Amino acid sequence: MTKLAHQPFSDWLLTEEPLTSEEARLLQEHLRTCPECQQQQVALTNVHRLFKDVSQLVPAHGFVSRWQQRLADQRTLRQRKIAWVWFAVSAVLASLALTFLGYQAFGSLQSPLSLLAVWIYRLTVIVSYWNSLEGYLDVFRGLWPGLPLVGLVFLTGFTSFFSVLWLATYKRLRATRRVVNET
């Protein structure tokens, strides 16, 4: 029998749509004479029966706890990802700020002559102040009698001794004290 001859009957066998009474009668007539379609009908019936009879499979014990663990792992991974994103963003922003700062600094270095002139001016001001300070010191020096060299050495020694003493006292005061309970 040609494939075309089976066509409507094969389709009717495979469909789940209800057939009209006439279609059902024609199909039954065809099935009586066609072993191929008979075989297909038997196979389909067996497949349907097998699908209906086979039991539903259950997952291994502890599925829910494994899922909870997986959810926790996913959350940790997401938090780590967010932290990395923040780190990357802040690194990019810091680099941008540094670049901008470098650009600004480079801009100010573009005219070293003016900067040099300012520094020279400041140095001359400091020198002129020093000269005027020397004038004031001369007034004080005239008021006090001059110390001999030995006196200067002793004065330096005393100053050093008291400085060391002050440092030692300060350190002792800063040290934590043990509390002793006296009954």
Which of residues 4, 54, 105, 109 is near another protein by CB under 8 A? 54
Q: Can residue 47 be called a binding residue for another protein (CB under 8 A)?
A: yes
6 three-class SS: helix
Residues 92, 93, 94, 100, CA torsion sign? positive
Q: Can residue 174 be called a binding residue for another protein (CB under 8 A)?
A: no
Q: Can residue 173 be called a binding residue for another protein (CB under 8 A)?
A: no
Say which amino acid occupies 3: K
Which of residues 5, 19, 24, 71 is near another protein by CB under 8 A? 71
Distances (CA, A) of 153 to 43, 144, 150: 122, 18, 5
Query: How many Å apart are CA 165 and CA 112, to the nearest integer?
Result: 48
Nearer to another protein, 52 or 177 (CB): 52
Nearer to another protein, 74 or 169 (CB): 74
Which of residues 61, 171, 174, 177 is near another protein by CB under 8 A? 61
From 58-66, 94-102, 135-143, 174-182, give the range in contact with another protein by CB under 8 A: 58-66
Query: How many Å apart are CA 88 and CA 101, to the nearest integer?
Result: 20
Q: Can residue 68 be called a binding residue for another protein (CB under 8 A)?
A: yes
- In our burial notation (b when 16+ CB lie closer than 10 A, e otherwise), range 9-37 reads bbebbeeeeeeeeeeeeebeebeeebeeb
Nearer to another protein, 10 or 30 (CB): 10
Q: Which residues bind another protein (CB under 8 A)?
A: 10-11, 14-16, 39-40, 43-44, 46-48, 50-54, 56-61, 63-64, 66-68, 70-71, 74
